[in-house]
Amino acid sequence: MAERRFTFVVAEDEERMREYLARKVSELDPGFECVGAAADGEETIELVESHLPHLLLTDIRMPLLGGLELVERIRSTNPDLRIVIVSGYSEFEYARRAIELGVDEYILKPVDLAHLRGTLERVRIKLEASAAQVETEYGLAVRPGDTELARDVALYLQENYHHPYSLERLAARFRCKPAYLLRLYSRATGSTPTRDLIRLRIEKAKRLLVGHADLEVKQVAAAVGYEDALYFSRLFKRETGLNPSAFRDSQG
């Protein structure tokens, strides 16, 4: 039987450490593939909800949203995610709170590679056991009603893309738990609500940038649902390869 492959996201505000962790995890266990690296807490949530990774490695001190608050929010939408904290802070209170939030391990910087390798082995064991259980309980087939609800969610996103968004708010709108909505939508569409919303917003932004040269980038960002213009620009470049201004110039 082929070895299972798992995905992970790195959340670390220091660029070199972020790149180091993304590279080293895959080197230590080629069965782990990095699907995203975030520089702040809000971007981390977006990546986790978009890619549904199996593992998150995160620092404690993060811009916009601290590591422990980040873990707490993610736990409400993705309770099965394995989480490893990699931090330069060894205070007992951090470690105690991390344990309460169900963090798998707490690794101190500078990272000891033997410790990281052992951590990945333990996480893999948990993930393989969890994957087998999910396949047994849920199977891989789309269930009756999944497609209809997923279609309703997609329509809601199309009509409300410019409004503030969170997975928790979306789940409340459809009267179900966030984790359930994620699993159902993913099973029916092969995507996630967050991922589809990003694609939708970026496409709307492209049209505004090209069709309304008088609009500033921050106005375009606000029009498609992003209050933070810098975050919008970073996201736009990640999705298109160009920042908004360069994209507008390229279409002229």
CATH code of residue 17: 3.40.50.2300
Average confidence (pLDDT) over 20-25 = 96
Assess if residue 78 is contained within a domain: yes
| Bridge partner list, 217 | none
CATH of the domain at 151: 1.10.10.60
Same domain, 104 and 152: no
Residue pLDDT, tens place only, 53-109: 999 999 988 877 777 888 888 887 788 899 999 988 777 677 778 878 889 998 988
* Residue 100 to residue 106: CA distance in whole angstroms: 12
- Residue 205: domain span: 143-252
Residue 213 C-alpha from the chain's centroid: 32
Assess if residue 250 is contained within a domain: yes
Same domain, 97 and 48: yes
Residue pLDDT, tens place only, 150-184: 999 999 999 999 998 988 889 899 998 887 888 88
Same domain, 199 and 177: yes
Same domain, 69 and 193: no
At 132, the pLDDT band (50, 70, 90 cuts) reads low
Q: Which amino acid is at 190?
A: G
Same domain, 48 and 70: yes
Report which secondary-structure segment, H or E, holds 83.
Answer: strand 82-87
Assess if residue 215 is contained within a domain: yes
Same domain, 27 and 113: yes
* Residue 136 to residue 143: CA distance in whole angstroms: 15
Q: Is the pTM of this model over 0.85?
A: no
* Residue 225 to residue 135: CA distance in whole angstroms: 36
Same domain, 92 and 185: no
Same domain, 120 and 176: no
**Residue after which a domain boundary falls, among 138, 159, 175:** 138
* Residue 80 to residue 194: CA distance in whole angstroms: 18
* Residue 205 to residue 236: CA distance in whole angstroms: 9
Same domain, 130 and 151: no
Count structural domains, the chain: 2
Assess if residue 1 is contained within a domain: no
Residue 6 DSSP label = E
Same domain, 13 and 93: yes
Give yes or no for a cis peptide into 53 (omega within 30° of 0): no
* Residue 129 to residue 139: CA distance in whole angstroms: 15
